[in-house]
Amino acid sequence: MKKKVILYRDIPAQERQRLDDQFDVTFFDGMNESNKDAFVIALSETEGLIGSNSTSMPPTLLDLAPRLQAASTISVGTDKFDLTYLSQRGIPLMHTPGVLNETTADTLFTLIMCTARRAIELSNMVREGRWTSNIGESLYGTDVHGKTLGIIGMGRIGYAIAKRGHFGFDMKIQYSNRHRKPDAEQDLNATFMDMEELLKTSDFVCVMTPLTSQTERLIGAKEFAMMKKSAIFINGSRGKVIDEAALVEALSNGTIRAAGLDVFEVEPLPASSPLCKLDNAVLFPHIGSATTETRLKMITCAVDNLINALNGDISQNCANKEQLNR
């Protein structure tokens, strides 16, 4: 008999077919008030889960899935699951590292360029008929090339961002990370330092850590105050890695120059957020990996991951492999 699987995000037909070939699939378009009861009933029988990282899967919900054997998230970030809880139950969480590095780094560099050159603010000026003469000094941007790029979280994506800065923009790269990265030091001439020194000396501060209990609110009022007044802050990790209210304050009172954000404490970001009123904030709707090519690669990877995991193979792309092996 085929194993039962819940698919909680729409995926292309050919990938859905690969799941159907192997499993008895129940589809939900996310999880919301209108389908929650049916979702809970399906959970009681399911052996596998696959979906996107816009849906939270807390222990209270997964307690309702006593037969669960594997979960597969269409993301590299695993913060919508509790890894300790899953590991205690012996359930692997599969994810999609690597396939989105370059696309996400492109997005982060777009944020760097848009904030530095005030691209969105000035584009809006043109569209709204407010371009009536030469723009004047008060609307000039700041250079990106030749500046210092500080990366907090020099992992797979951090490295891809640093590569763009080093080779494309002649930037000086510095980083803080849980451990040193010899490849970044050799290939990109990157300098390892503690976060405080990085905050004080970078022109662009880019956060690319995962969201964990150690990184939650890593950057708050104290950290913004350490940055240069001319600094530009970029967050592509998760909204909760920063204190958003403190960022609003820092952008409003000139503690830092500007911010580019792809992620927020609450997503979708409500239009009532004070961030939406700030010209010096560039706001993207969590599009780090959102290209047609890369999203397909992520979905294909996540489908492979679930098939492998439910067949007992977690050698590739298992986020809690070490915890499971303990």
Ligand X SMILES: NC(=O)C1=CN([C@@H]2O[C@H](COP(=O)(O)OP(=O)(O)OC[C@H]3O[C@@H](n4cnc5c(N)ncnc54)[C@H](O)[C@@H]3O)[C@@H](O)[C@H]2O)C=CC1
Using CB atoms within 10 Å of the CB of residue 133, give its burial: 0 to 12 exposed, 13 to 18 middle, 19+ buried. Answer: exposed
Radius of gyration of the chain (CA): 21
Number of residues counted as binding ligand 3PY (CB under 6 A): 7
> What minimum distance in Å lies between the beta carbon of 243 and ligand X?
15
Going residue by residue from 171 to 210, which x/- string records binding to ligand X, judged by CB under 6 A?
A: -----xxx-----------------------------xxx
Which tokens is 121 given?
């603010």
Residue closer to ligand 3PY (CB basis): 104 or 174: 104
Among 238, 244, 257, 295, which one carries the catalytic annotation?
238
Does residue 72 belong to the site contacting ligand 3PY (CB under 6 A)? no
Residues between 36 and 65 with contacts to ligand 3PY, criterion CB under 6 A: 53
Partner in contact with 236, chosen from ligand X, ligand 3PY, none, beta carbon below 5 to 8 Å by kind: ligand X
Partner in contact with 53, chosen from ligand X, ligand 3PY, none, beta carbon below 5 to 8 Å by kind: ligand 3PY
* Beta carbons of 72 and 309 less than 8 angstroms apart: yes
* Beta carbons of 243 and 214 less than 8 angstroms apart: no
Q: Is the dihedral of CA 28, 29, 31, 35 positive or negative?
A: negative
Q: Which of 104, 148, 308, 317 binds ligand X (CB under 6 A)?
A: 104
Chain centroid offset of residue 258 CA: 20
How far is Cα 222 from Cα 146, in angstroms, rounded to an integer?
Answer: 27
Partner in contact with 215, chosen from ligand 3PY, ligand X, none, beta carbon below 5 to 8 Å by kind: ligand X
Q: Which of these segments, 109-117, 233-241, 249-257, 295-303, binds ligand X (CB under 6 A)?
A: 233-241
Chain centroid offset of residue 45 CA: 31
Kind and range of the H or E run holding 115: helix 101-116
Chain centroid offset of residue 89 CA: 26
* Beta carbons of 288 and 104 less than 8 angstroms apart: yes
Q: Which of 202, 215, 305, 320 binds ligand X (CB under 6 A)?
A: 215
SS3 percent helix, strand, coil of the chain, rounded to 5, is 40, 15, 45
How far is Cα 99 from Cα 76, in angstroms, rounded to an integer?
Answer: 9
Residue closer to ligand 3PY (CB basis): 75 or 215: 75
> What minimum distance in Å lies between the beta carbon of 100 and ligand X?
5
Catalytic center residues: 238, 267, 286
Binding interface with ligand 3PY (CB under 6 A): 53, 75-77, 100, 288-289
Binding interface with ligand X (CB under 6 A): 76-77, 97, 100, 104, 152-158, 176-178, 208-211, 214-215, 218, 236-238, 262-263, 286, 288-289
